[in-house]
Structure formats: C-alpha cells, structure tokens
C-alpha cells in the first residue's frame, strides 16, 4: 500500500498543532485525550457522538455456526462485543462531493485524486 493513501497520526498532530498554534506535544495530548474519551465511552457501553462527524457505538454480534475451511466441520463462533461506526451526513456529503467533483473534472479544488481501492467495492 502506498504511503500517499494514509493520513498518519503524526500528520494529524502536525495539522492540529499548526491550525491552533500548539506545540506538537500539546496537540498530541489533545488527540490522545479525544481517543481515550471515545474508547472509554464505548467500553462502558455508551454511544459517543462527535456532532456532524461520526458516532461510535457498541453492539453484541450474534453467535453463529461457521465451517472450518480445512476440514469442513462446523465451528461455533460465540457472540462478541464489537464497535460500530456511523458517519453523519456532513461527513458523508463532503466525501461524496469530492467523489462527484473528481468524476466531472480532472483536478477538483479541495479533493485529492482518489487512490485505487484497498478492498473490493462490489459484492
């Protein structure tokens, strides 16, 4: 995977520090606290809403029976606590507008060139 497809934590820290005139350590502390609050809230079975951006919430997956690919025998997969992510409309609209702009013009403003998808986009 090409490095240009990834926005690393260091990149985010630098942008936050630059945008708010913080030291890199202060910006990292702010982001670490944000992530800690999200993880702590979801681990306590609460939804965490970041308005106009995203909602993280816990759920319990159902137990089911799968097949062992090596021998075909059934295997019980137990229920498990998991985390879901829901992007709010403002976030989705920004992503979709960049996709639409890229399709209509070779170099849209505010949207970087889309990269080859890492995962299949069709079922």
pLDDT digit string, tens, across residues 7-58: 899 999 999 999 999 999 999 999 999 999 999 999 999 999 998 899 999 9
In a domain, 32, yes or no: yes
What is the total count of domains within the chain? 1
Q: Residue 31's domain spans which residues? A: 9-46
In a domain, 117, yes or no: no
Q: The sheet that has 54-61: what strands, in order across it?
A: 48-50, 54-61, 80-87
In a domain, 17, yes or no: yes
**Above 80 in pLDDT, residue 74?**
yes
């Amino acid at each position: 995977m090409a490095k240009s497809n990834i926005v690393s934590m260091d990149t985010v820290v630098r942008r936050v520090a630059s945008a708010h005139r913080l030291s890199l350590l202060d910006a990292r502390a702010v982001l670490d606290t944000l992530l800690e609050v999200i993880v702590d809230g979801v681990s306590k079975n609460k939804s965490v809403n970041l308005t106009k951006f995203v909602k993280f919430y816990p759920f319990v997956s159902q137990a089911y029976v799968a097949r062992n690919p090596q021998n075909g025998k059934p295997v019980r997969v137990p229920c498990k606590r998991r985390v879901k992510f829901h992007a709010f409309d403002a976030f989705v609209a920004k992503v979709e507008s960049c996709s639409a702009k890229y399709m209509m013009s070779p170099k849209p403003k505010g949207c970087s060139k889309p990269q080859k998808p890492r995962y299949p986009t069709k079922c």
